[in-house]
Every structure is written in C-alpha cells, then in structure tokens.
Structure 1
C-alpha cells in the first residue's frame, strides 16, 4: 500500500455506512469510473442533471480510503455527500471493507476485469499518477503483478475474495468489464434489476450513450483531467478502454509464463474471465 491509502485508516475503518449507501468496489483500473458514472446517471441523471457538468466524478463518488494532504479525505467527502443514496467507491480487498457496510446490509457493485488487460491498464496508470509508486519497466512490473506486490495487493486474491463473498452476501452484484464492453445495455438492465430501478427506454439510451468510452474520455467531469496528481502528458487517465490491448504489451514468452502462473493461482476458482471478445 502507499500511505495515501493508509494515513486515514482509523477513520476509514470506523466509517458509518447508511442502509441505502451503494459501494462500488473494484481492483484498480477495472472499470471503476465507468460504473460510477452509470450509477450516478441512473440515480441523479434526471433529478439533477447539472451535477454531470459541474462536479467531477471523484467528488460525486468519493474514493473512501484516499487521503491526499491538499485535498479532502475520502471519508470527509463521503460523510458530506448531499445525495441519497450516497455512491462511494473503494479498491479494498473484501477483508478491508469497513464493517458498517456489512452491518447495514448495503448494496455493493463489484467490477472485475481480466488480469492481462488489468495489468496493462494499471501499468500506464502508475506511470502518470503521482500518488502511485514508480512502475519501473514493463517486464519487472508484470512480475510484480504476478507476485501480488501491488498497491491494493494481489489481483488474484481481490477478484476471488469478492467472488467468494458474493456467495454469502445477497446484496453483492458482480460485474465483468468485458461484458460491459460487449453489451452495455444488457449489463445496465442487469444492474437495474439488482438495484430495483426501472428507467424508461429513453433514459437507458441516454445513459448508455453518455457512458460510451469516447464520450467519457472527452468529458472533463469524468476523465480526471481536473485532478493535479495525474500527468496527462505521460498518459491519459482513460487510455483505450478496450478488451485485448494486452496483446500489444505481452511478449510471447511473457504470455506463456503468465498463463502458467495464472492456471496455478486460479485452479480452485470458479471465476471465468475472457481476455478477448
């Protein structure tokens, strides 16, 4: 972990969730902002459309565990959210989620992305984000990812830990990045079903178009360009948003080594990922 996610540990762990809070949980770079924007539009797109054009997504959906000295802490932002429900995001593995979220039986939306695309996206993110450790070169970064020596830990533990939790926590909706890319409308319907929402066909169309990757990439309230800790000269926060970009980064040898390791780590898991669609 970096201290930006541990400095406020006590306050984060003691955070008081409310029964109608919705927690968005992901391993970093797995579609967090995408699903945050979808939820924000679902709940507030019609009620207060001005939010979309005047408040950055990281203020509308606070990042619970973050604490950057010059910026508000995530817990402060979350506590002061004027909305109901409050939408809050976290990258915590399941065992670090503040216990009040379970006690209040909150709805949780988890998004998982295949490991190969996830590590590529994380690599470029670490290059441009000042609060992340220096990534070093691609080859050593990939090894570190396989060893789980990442901010927020092992991808394997993360996706599996949350998958296991889903079996016992009925209010956990587990989504896949690849499914969202393949058919955003279909996944939106499943999400609405889970949340008990029934938006009109017209509203669904508006949301689906608003959260298309290219539209979000151009939208300053969604693309993080207003956050000073991101260096867009190195790489944009929203880079490609595709499935299969890993093929432009993995060498044949790296891919074989990764697949071997992946099989071992995922052998007891019922989770299935697609690395291309």
Structure 2
C-alpha cells in the first residue's frame, strides 16, 4: 500500500517547450523572475554543467574541499542538494533553488546550474564569480541522460532509446542541445578568466591531477592528507552508497527503475549504441562540432 500511495503522489511528467530559444520544462521556468534577479556574491562559486555530466560529483568535491573539515556534520546531516542548491529548480517537493541559495550560511556559497551560458543570471558576471564547468563526452552523456529520464518523474517521458538518441541529436532536451551548451561555455572561457573548464573523462583518468588544477584555480592549498580525503570521499561507489549524496531521499526519483548514480564510467555508450546509431551519431557530431576546437574523448 505504501508503494501505491507514493505512486499516486508522483507528478505527471512535464512537457518540453521553447523558452528563450532553449527547450525547457516548467520546473525551470516557473521561478524565472527570481532566477534572473538572483544576487550573486563575489565569493560565490557557480557549478555549471549539462545534465548528467558529473554535476553531483563536482558539487561533492567542492563541498568536501571547503567544508569537509570545518563543518564535517554537513556530510551526515544535509543532503547535497541542500548544500549545493540547484539555482533554477522549482520542483515543489523542495523549496525553489533561489530560496535555498539565499539562505545558505556558508562562505563561499556553492550553487549549481544547468543553464546554458546565455541564460545565467547577470549578477554572476557582474560580481566576477568563479565558475567550475564540467563537460562529458556526448555519447556517455546521452546514455546517462536516458537512464536518468527513465527514473526521474520531473523529466519529460523519455520514450525508447532510439527516439531519445534522435531527440538528443536534434537538441530537444531539457536545457537545450548538448553541442551548444559545451561549446558556448568553452567560448565564454576564452574571454572570462574565472571559468575553470573540466572534463569528466580527465577526472576519471586522474583525479589527483584534476584536483590539483581545481585547487590552483580556487586558490586553495590542501594538505596531501586532505586531498586524499576528498578523493576517497568522492569515489563513485562511496557516493552511490551515501544517502546524503545519492538523491535517494527525493520522492520524484524511482530507484526501482534505475539508480540516480548508475555506473560513473567512460565508454558505457558502447553497451548501448548499435553500429548504425553510432555511425549516424558520428555524422551528426562532426557536422555540429566542426567550428570548435573543443575536443572530447569517448574512452580513457
């Protein structure tokens, strides 16, 4: 009966619509006025990603870096989505992201967004805030996004994997085309020194190296012991089994369908793409990425 009660309370799946030239759902536009007027502070750190590109991973790393020692109780008492609020979100089952961000007691405030660069609130640029952007190769990103949409009731109905892949190539995804997202943030980085652009594949390959680069960008000098603690705490299996990190407390996600943290691998796309799909994807990819020097790896 408990399961039946939960099922009846799950929201109906939202529909995609065009919003300032980007596909969105109402969960990210209902609070738009407050999102756009959000007042950033100079020491805020904005975590920006396309959905399913390592957002929670980098959020957890940053939270451990800044507060793992000074406020260890955060790790066991506050879920990551309350420590690192999702700025544009308005899911009803939680307070709006702007409200959570405004009430953060920490300095710096860690705030996450999936917004394409052109929709980020102006105050983040006016205050010259630091931004950490993580990008993931398109093939693994689309596979992760598909499984996420299957289990997440505040996402549009995913359909079958073939239709989902076509939608991804067409850019008809929440927060718009992957291609535009990763390239526009990459271009912004060329003129904005406060953006640190990271790659999911590099983090998988050598987290120690990537953590050193991140700390250098942030002006942090953790001890070797502290760095080891961050690396250990943010390992995939540790986060997957950590109820404060794995989103298991959010009622709109059905873990019976798929866990929020599924595999965390590079190259899992090979288990999902057919030969024909891969050929079509590569053709689309070459056409859409031909005008950028941004390079991705689909294996490590």
TM band (smaller chain): over 0.9
SS in 2 for 1:12: helix
Q: Which of residues 199, 224, 242 in structure 2 aligns to 1:176?
A: 199
Secondary structure of 1:7's partner?
A: coil
Q: Match for 1:227 among 236, 244, 250? A: 250
CA offsets per residue over residues 108-149 of structure 1, 9 Å max, x none? Answer: 000000000000000000000010001000000000000000
- The aligned counterpart of 2:226 is 203
Structure 1: gaps spanning 5 or more residues: none
Q: What TM-score, normalized to structure 2? A: 0.92
Matched, 1:192 2:227: no
C-alpha distance in structure 2 between counterparts of 1:69 and 1:229, whole Å? 10
Deviation at 1:69, TM superposition (A): 2.0
TM-score, normalized by length of structure 1?
A: 1.00
Q: Which position in structure 1 is the counterpart of 2:44?
A: 21
3-state SS of paired residue (1:36): helix
In structure 1, distance between residues paired with 2:190 and 2:299: 27
1:258 alignment counterpart: 281
Residue among 264, 280, 289 paired with 1:241: 264
* Runs of 4 or more consecutive aligned structure 1 residues displaced over 2 Å after TM superposition: none
| Structural mapping, 1:5-44, within 5 Å | 5-44=28-67
Structure 1: distance between partners of 2:163 and 2:109: 39
Distance in 2 (alpha carbons) for counterparts of 1:114 and 1:66: 24
Q: Please, which moves more after superposition, 66-75 or 12-21? A: 66-75
- The reply to whether residue 100 of structure 1 matches residue 123 of structure 2 is yes
| RMSD of equivalent CA atoms | 0.4
Partner of 2:166: 143
Runs of 5+ consecutive residues of structure 2 not aligned to the other structure: 1-23
Query: Match of 2:179, SS?
Result: helix
**Per-residue deviation, 1:71:** 1.7
Residue 140 of structure 2 aligns to a residue in which SS? Answer: helix
